[in-house]
Structure 1
């Protein structure tokens, strides 16, 4: 008989695979930046915010914070590396104010994470207390990352076209949220259930919009920047 822990681990592995795909989804954007040797009008902020989000979830999944959640740490560690590559590409091909703003934001993020890390290890002495403290930051920054999907949904409604919301990316984002929600429900972890539940709901809303506006899709195909999905809504 399959135990709940085995099911949970299986869901975590599947979630890692899906999340890895989502982390790679913006790669065409950065290929274009490299090819054109210009950041053009692309915005770096979704990727910059994801860096801090990954750092918090890496800390959350460590045994010193929340035991038996190492799969959360592994995928966010991988995601952190990928996001840093994206940001490095943006910095390399940007200049002036754009570069300064990104560098300044990264410095602030490092300071914020360092403070949270020190407080977690020095002030809170039980895993339960550390889980709550770090979990609050994880949920807050996950919520910030919902702005991209919401903006995409707004564009769909205004334009009555789904060209701004690619179906495969939308479906994968929904499955990612559903997978991690199921993972978190096996051993109830509200700090994971809340953001992933919101991610699942967001995915459902986007799929419904896609179904409504798909037939109205414009015959003209313009290249647009893909919205960054929350790769690990955990």
Structure 2
């Protein structure tokens, strides 16, 4: 085995491990949601996009015979499916549940039908191109979702919407997959991951800079949602009644 092949294998393993940590980074939040039946102000739509993205990469990996990207994306798809089911089961509003179900089913159906059409109606080379663009579009949407809040972070000098563990694993896994994609000469792998790593660096720079401006006071990383945004917990009358009821049932 050549040195090039060894490095490719090492980067593939490293990328899989780091990406699994990325998929697991919000698990505590969703376990709490599943247990307490309270979604707070968590935004589930980036997770739905991540689930569709993982499924797209599973199909892309199968078509292009890149088995190295299959394990992590299969794991990511299963993890995000759990997150979505836990969230859906905890949403009290019928119309909101219906909206979530409609968006989830529509997106997943669109991805599946599109991928099947591409596979059945094009040759192998064209399939790789079309599927690569499809997965890249969804991945860019996921990477951009936490960055949209950066303007408010800078304006308000409040880093509570930046989830450091998520940014860290996005950076490290993105770098691993970027170098892997460069070595196997697959732009559909290295371009989006390099972009994701850049956005993660941007978030971390903003986080450190604002905390230094604020006198080194670090925002606690608790009550965070899965998309890297804080769950703003507002204690209203219904919340106090809920806490009272829970204490009485213990």
TM normalised by structure 1 equals 0.87
User: Does the aligned pair in 2 maintain the 1:22–1:169 contact within 8 Å?
Assistant: yes
Query: Relative to 1, partners in 2 of residues 1:168 and 1:38: Cα closer, same or farther, differing over 3 Å?
Result: closer
C-alpha separation between the residues in 2 aligned to 1:38 and 1:129?
45
Q: CA deviation at 1:190?
A: 0.9
Alignment equivalent of 2:120, drawn from 113, 119, 122: 122
Query: Relative to 1, partners in 2 of residues 1:84 and 1:192: Cα closer, same or farther, differing over 3 Å?
Result: same
Residue 174 (str. 1) matches residue 179 (str. 2): no
Where does residue 77 of structure 1 map in the other structure?
Answer: 74
User: Does the aligned pair in 1 maintain the 2:16–2:72 contact within 8 Å?
Assistant: yes
Alignment equivalent of 1:141, drawn from 138, 142, 147: 138
| Structure 1 segment 67-106 matched on structure 2, within 5 A | 67=65, 69-94=66-91, 95-106=93-104
Q: CA deviation at 1:30?
A: 1.1
Larger radius of gyration, structure 1 or 2? 2
- SS of alignment partner, residue 145 of structure 1: helix
Q: CA deviation at 1:172?
A: 2.0
Where does residue 49 of structure 1 map in the other structure?
Answer: 49
C-alpha separation between the residues in 1 aligned to 2:120 and 2:219?
57
User: Does the aligned pair in 1 maintain the 2:43–2:225 contact within 8 Å?
Assistant: no
Query: Relative to 1, partners in 2 of residues 1:119 and 1:177: Cα closer, same or farther, differing over 3 Å?
Result: same
Question: What is the aligned residue count?
Answer: 225
Q: CA deviation at 1:111?
A: 2.0
Where does residue 242 of structure 2 map in the other structure?
Answer: none
| Structure 1 segment 1-234 matched on structure 2, within 5 A | 2-62=2-62, 65-67=63-65, 69-94=66-91, 95-126=93-124, 128-215=125-212, 216=214, 218=217, 221=220, 223-228=222-227
C-alpha separation between the residues in 1 aligned to 2:7 and 2:220?
42
Query: Relative to 1, partners in 2 of residues 1:188 and 1:222: Cα closer, same or farther, differing over 3 Å?
Result: closer
Greater shift in the superposed pair: 30-39 or 96-105? 30-39
Query: Relative to 1, partners in 2 of residues 1:92 and 1:227: Cα closer, same or farther, differing over 3 Å?
Result: closer
TM normalised by structure 2 equals 0.82
> Structure 2 unaligned runs (5+)?
229-250
- Cα RMSD of the aligned pairs, angstroms, is 2.1
